[in-house]
A and B are shown apart, each in its own frame.
Chain A
């Protein structure tokens, strides 16, 4: 009886104290010095171009980007922007990139569903016709849309980068369910799956997506060495741009606005001093 009570108490203590005392629930997020960080940060067009290629050749097989149009690639601030073509729909590079992709359309003569090469005004096509098809092809998990992924995750670009490069061999004592993959950056609490030392629960969590990036999986046209780290950084730069294509416009507009407001503030301060100089207050 007494022994049972002690065991129960110990179990209770372990359940209460366990998660907080142990390391479970934390994740390893690594910071990258992004070119687009800070008030003066800008996207590096070459990097975003490489990132688009990674998205197109790797991610796009499963992940949609429903908010993106091919024309976005050629708009001011976009990776393929060419000042000669103010209208991104005329940009020959963007036209060529779009042409490589087949999109669904309706034949206006017959009403049949047809496929045709995309034009810059087209949306990025989804890899799956609907959520059910996406789930069926991915072990029940629906690959999230990547249009605003960097804004939609706590940690932003650092998190997405850490996730893409965060796949590790699960340490001995960690039980990984079939169809799941261990990742040190994925949020979760691995305590229930951990049979090792209570105070050393491994960081991270499980997700359905397996590791995708391998060396030389994508050949970069500009000769950049195609390491996993390079691919991850480049695709994250692309996704960060896609999450907010007007980001550079925002920052440059902001600089002007701040300078204007600062001058305005100084002028008002001296006006205030002058108006009030004869009033004790």
Chain B
């Protein structure tokens, strides 16, 4: 992957193993020596953060599964037993619940970074698609996991979301019945959701391995979007990026810990501490924050099936993005016009998230205008989410394809080393031995 291997087995055992299973060589080439562009900024540290979050979710989840009871009569109480009687159960559960939010925060930043620097473009299309698969699996896992505590939001969220699938023609109903395991959301649903919630993270881990493999074939993109031309453009992954990622991970953990220890329930919904009751529907059923943009797209369409299709279309669009963007220039650093549209896109995505958390008929400013367009007041969340939804799709299907053909990008540097680097070395190059070779 990284060209020729620099691994030299030093002991007899290493030589013996290297001729049979060169796993140490593999680890050294891919995790330590891997040549990485030297100009990666902090936006590039989220890959490492995501790997860590997956590990934390797996570790805490396995412990939680030892104490959790997947039964409608016991699930809620078993989660509270973890909080009350299991040693450090509160820590493990809060790490897991807030870990899901942190995981999504990191994945969104990772994706936004990707969009900005054009990392999805050739030759990294498969890398990007695998990332989209991971994201899709994460959404399924997170939704299913939110059902497990069997609180009011768990139950009614499960009802709403599984019913969405039922809106699909022909396949909808059989899939819904399979998910429910019966005529409605009930104990069989909880049982199979628990089983799937244990399975899917390992599927994610498998796709993550493919993702890293697909990353190591072309190597990292970088903020200039220019291909690596020579050895001068790269540094070995270790120690340069282990320490940079490590620092970013530590900062991220500080944020994560501040939620776990001081605001563990702020990202959740109070109603989920009420045991599920099929006969009482909560006043507002809202998904977790990381689903809100898609929830807004869903509700922007007056027709149920149309909403479901558009919502899945929003995710499906990501899969074909490498072929929608016609620009040959990767990084938006050199695409000032595209950059403007990109920032509007990020803003509109946040607007969608905001709308998803509001009631559709709520006015955006002050009081309703009284002017009704089609089915809703013009000054309402539903119209704001319609505007944002149109922009969301226009960005991918109209702006990126057209802009790539019409815009004039700024001159792109010849190589990574050529542009004026933002952080020059404090000592002349070669004045000191490279630190990775020193103890």
Contacts and interface: CB of A to CB of B under 8 A. Distances in A.
Interface of A: 13, 16-17, 20-21, 39, 66-67, 72, 144-145, 147-148, 151-154, 156, 187, 243-246, 249-251, 253-255, 257-258, 261-262, 264-265, 268-269, 271-272, 274-281
B374 interface: no
Given A261-B253, A262-B254, A16 B271 contact: no
Contacts of A151: 265, 270, 273
A281 B80 contact: no
A271 B265 CA distance: 35
A92 B271 CA distance: 37
B370 A13 contact: yes
B11 interface: no
Nearest to B80: A67
Contacts of A255: 261
B254 A265 contact: yes
A258 B270 contact: no
A161 to B, nearest CB: 15
A262 B246 CA distance: 13
Interface in B253-304: 253-254, 257-258, 260-262, 264-265, 270-271, 273-275, 283
Given A148-B273, A254-B257, A274 B435 contact: yes
B427 A278 contact: yes
B251 A265 contact: yes
Contacts of B425: 277-280
B367 to A, nearest CB: 6
B69 interface: no
Contacts of A187: 283
Interface string B402-428: 000000000000000100011111110
Nearest to A254: B261
A281 B38 contact: yes
Interface of B: 38-39, 77, 80-81, 83-84, 90-91, 94, 235, 239-240, 243-244, 246-247, 250-251, 253-254, 257-258, 260-262, 264-265, 270-271, 273-275, 283, 363, 367-368, 370, 377, 417, 421-427, 429, 431-432, 434-436
A281 to B, nearest CB: 5
15 contacts: A17-B368, A66-B77, A67-B84, A154-B270, A246-B83, A246-B90, A249-B90, A265-B247, A265-B254, A268-B243, A271-B247, A275-B243, A275-B435, A278-B429, A278-B435
Given A258-B254, A261-B257, A275-B239, A280 B421 contact: yes
Contacts, number: 123
B368 A280 contact: no
A253 B260 CA distance: 11
Given A67-B77, A277-B425, A261 B250 contact: yes
B390 to A, nearest CB: 25
A204 to B, nearest CB: 15
A17 B370 contact: yes
A258 B261 contact: yes
Nearest to A277: B426
Nearest to B250: A265
Pairs of residues from A and B, 4 with the lowest C-beta to C-beta distance, nearest first? A254-B261, A152-B273, A265-B250, A268-B247
Contacts of A272: 243-244, 246-247
B250 A20 contact: no
Given A249-B90, A250-B91, A278-B435, A21 B367 contact: yes
Contact of B257 (A17, A257, A277, A278): A257
Contacts of A269: 247
A72 B367 CA distance: 50
Contact of B368 (A20, A156, A271): A20
Nearest to A187: B283
Give the interface centre of A148, A187, A269 by most chain B CB atoms within 10 Å: A148
A41 B185 CA distance: 41
A268 B246 contact: yes
B418 to A, nearest CB: 11
A250 B90 contact: yes
A244 B83 contact: yes
Contacts of B235: 279, 281
A13 B369 CA distance: 11
Contacts of B275: 145
B250 A268 contact: yes
Contacts of A265: 247, 250-251, 254
Contact of B432 (A148, A153, A276, A278): A278
A249 B265 CA distance: 16
Contact of A280 (B283, B370, B429): B429
Nearest to A276: B240
Nearest to A268: B247
